[in-house]
């Protein structure tokens, strides 16, 4: 058999890094006021009442670490024009107690989204990213050996300090928290300001915060 080359085109990039956990910031985040999440009329975790957590100056050092990683991904990995400026639009903490999960979802009105884990007890569950159903392999239920070339989902193991950045349209969910301790994370969305497109292409768009 002749040599076969595989070309994995148009990749979906997920950035994973570990930015550590500051004990004081962790304590403040856990002590924020939370309210229950109801999905299909069933309690499924809690979110902070404040949906702009990272606007608080006491979290400025955490915000800086996130923005530094975001800048690297946007300008060095995606190679986006530096005339476009990106900013965090909203941010909130999520608390998952035993057996809680995050159901399959994506993030609207956003370009890039992220999640930062600051408490991950053993067996608290990992995050799973799913391929869009439109792009699913027609043979998805008859695969003999799952490989990175045919998978419809991708699981990432998370630990305290893990920061994930990904395109906001990407579907994702979590495994159940099987620990007796709560799993805590901080989620956020990112948008941009500046000018894109041009008049010749009839697609110019100016967005200024």
State the DSSP H helix or E strand holding residue 69, giving kind and residue range, or none if neither: helix 60-71
Tokens of 25: 């910031």
**Residues across the chain:** 209
Q: What is the pLDDT of residue 61?
A: 98
Q: What is the pLDDT of residue 162?
A: 98
CA distance 114 to 158: 13
Burial of residue 5, with CB atoms counted within 10 A of its CB: 0-12 exposed, 13-18 middle, 19 or more buried: exposed
> Mind listing the pLDDT tens digit for each residue in 51-61?
999 999 999 99
CA distance readout (Å), 130 to 57, 71, 141, 173: 35, 25, 15, 8
Q: Are 172 and 166 in contact (CB under 8 A)?
A: yes
CA distance 82 to 74: 9
Q: Which of residues 29 and 37 earns the better pLDDT score?
A: 29
Q: How many Cβ atoms from other residues are within 10 Å of residue 140's Cβ? A: 14
> Mind listing the pLDDT tens digit for each residue in 73-117?
999 999 999 999 999 999 999 999 999 999 999 999 999 999 999
Residue 161 has pLDDT above 80, yes or no: yes
Instruction: Read off the pTM.
Output: 0.90
CA distance 9 to 14: 15
Range list of β-strands (E), the chain: 15-18, 34-39, 42-48, 85-96, 112-119, 127-130, 153-156, 162-167, 171-174, 183-196, 205-207
Q: Are 41 and 196 in contact (CB under 8 A)?
A: no
Residue whose entry in the numeric block shows the structure tokens 């403040």: 28
Residue whose entry in the numeric block shows the structure tokens 């962790």: 26
């Amino acid at each position: 058999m002749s040599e076969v080359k595989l070309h994995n085109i148009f990749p979906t990039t997920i950035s994973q890094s570990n930015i550590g956990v500051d004990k004081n910031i962790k304590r403040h985040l856990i002590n924020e006021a939370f309210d229950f999440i109801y999905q299909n009329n069933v309690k499924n975790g809690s979110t902070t009442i404040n949906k702009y957590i990272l606007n608080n100056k006491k979290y400025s050092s955490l915000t800086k670490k996130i923005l530094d990683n975001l800048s690297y991904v946007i300008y060095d990995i995606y190679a986006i024009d530096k005339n476009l400026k990106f900013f965090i639009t909203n941010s909130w903490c999520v608390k998952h107690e035993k057996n809680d999960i995050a159901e399959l979802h994506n993030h609207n009105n956003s370009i890039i989204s992220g999640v930062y884990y600051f408490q991950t007890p053993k067996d608290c569950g990992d995050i799973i990213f799913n391929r869009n159903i439109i792009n699913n392999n027609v043979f998805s239920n008859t695969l003999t050996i799952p490989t990175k070339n045919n998978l419809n989902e991708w699981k990432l193991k998370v630990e305290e300090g893990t920061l994930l950045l990904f395109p906001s349209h990407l579907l994702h969910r979590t495994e159940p928290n099987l620990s007796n301790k709560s799993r805590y994370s901080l989620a956020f969305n990112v948008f941009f300001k500046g000018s894109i497109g041009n008049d010749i292409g009839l697609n110019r768009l100016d967005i200024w915060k």
